[in-house]
Amino acid sequence: DAKTTQPNSMESNEEEPVHLPCNHSTISGTDYIHWYRQLPSQGPEYVIHGLTSNVNNRMASLAIAEDRKSSTLILHRATLRDAAVYYCILRDYSGNTPLVFGKGTRLSVIA
C-alpha cells in the first residue's frame, strides 16, 4: 500500500467545520482512499472511503483532488465526540490486503 502523509495534530472549535488533509502523491490508479478514526480507549472505526468522486455519508464528507494526490476529510460540524485520531489509508481495489496504519492526525475539539 502506498504511503500517506497527515499532520500530527489539529484543533477545532465545537460546531465549526473541520478539514483534515491527507497527501498521497504515490497513489496508484487502483488505490481507494479510506478514513478510519480512533476514539480514546477504543478500537478504530470506519468513517468513509472513495476512489475519484467526492463522497458523503452520515459521518463525514470526503473531497478528493482531481489528480488524486491528496484528499480532505470534512466534518461539517465538529462535536466533542469527534475528538479522535483520524487515519488516512490507501487500499487496493481488491481489498484483500490488511489495513496499514500510520500515526494519523489527532483532532482536538474545543468547547
Partner 1 sequence: NAGVTQTPKFRVLKTGQSMTLLCAQDMNHEYMYWYRQDPGMGLRLIHYSVGEGTTAKGEVPDGYNVSRLKKQNFLLGLESAAPSQTSVYFCASREPGQTRQPQHFGDGTRLSIL
Torsion of CA 34, 40, 42, 43, to 10 degrees: 30
Residue 101 contacts residue 43 (beta carbons within 8 Å): no
In the list 69, 92, 108, 110, the residue contacting partner 1 (rule: CB under 8 A) is 92
Using rule CB under 8 A, residue 108 touches partner 1:
no
Least Å distance, CB 105 to partner 1, is 11
Instruction: Report if residue 91 touches partner 1, rule: CB under 8 A.
Output: yes
- Please name the residues in contact with 41: beta carbons below 8 A apart, sequence gap of 6 or more: none
Binding site for partner 1 (CB under 8 A): 32, 34, 36, 41-46, 49, 87, 91-96, 98-104
